[in-house]
């Protein structure tokens, strides 16, 4: 059974996609927590950061997260978040990197 994000990547579920390459796709979060809230999602349905994660894939996702911050002109700063597991607040079981910006973000998170 494909994950929600596989269904978005395939186009079955519409999204506001802003980037794609051979490894990953980026689209706007449906429930944004900041003026800019983008998800960077690998095409491969890796379940979470706890999965058997390939270092090259992990690095690529971070490079693309930075690319998205530049593309979205988050020149005053931004935050990159990976929620992992129940306590981490992960709600979709397909690894994804949140890129948040456009306002000052509180720390620590709730
Ligand atoms: P997390 O809680 O870290 O697993 O983040 C999952 C994010 O996915 C959450 O911020 C909301 C977003 N999301 C859930 N369903 C959809 C959807 O159908 N479309 C889009 N664009 N984002 C979604």
Q: What is the pLDDT of residue 110?
A: 86
74: number of CA atoms within 13 Å, CB side? 24
Q: Is 94 a residue of the active site?
A: no
Q: Ligand 1 pocket by C-beta < 6 Å: which residues?
A: 4, 8, 13, 15, 27-31, 39, 83, 89-92
CA 16 – ligand 1 centroid, Å: 12
CA distance 100 to 13: 22
CA 93 – ligand 1 centroid, Å: 10
Give residue for tokens 């079981």: 93
More confident residue, 86 or 52: 86
Contacts of 16 (CB under 8 A, 6+ apart): 27, 28
Q: What pTM, to 2 d.p., does this model score?
A: 0.98
Q: How confident is the model at residue 7 (pLDDT cuts 50, 70, 90)?
A: very high
Tens of pLDDT, residue by residue over 41-83, are 999 999 999 998 999 999 999 999 999 999 999 999 999 999 9
CA 28 – ligand 1 centroid, Å: 9
* Mean pLDDT of the region 11-39: 98
Distances (CA, A) of 4 to 12, 56, 91: 10, 24, 11
Q: Cβ-count burial of 78 within 10 angstroms (0-12 exposed, 13-18 middle, 19+ buried)?
A: buried
CA distance 18 to 83: 21
CA distance 70 to 75: 7
């Amino acid at each position: 059974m494909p994950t929600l994000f596989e269904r978005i990547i395939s186009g079955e579920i519409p999204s506001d996609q802003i980037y794609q390459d051979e490894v990953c796709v980026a689209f706007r979060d449906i429930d944004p927590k900041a003026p800019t809230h983008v998800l960077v999602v690998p095409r491969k349905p890796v379940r979470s950061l706890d999965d058997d994660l390939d270092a090259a894939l992990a690095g690529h996702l971070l490079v693309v997260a930075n690319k998205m911050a530049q593309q979205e002109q988050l020149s005053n700063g931004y935050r990159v978040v990976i929620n992992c597991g129940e306590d981490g607040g992960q709600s979709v079981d397909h690894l994804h990197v949140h890129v948040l910006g456009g306002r000052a973000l509180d720390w620590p998170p709730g």
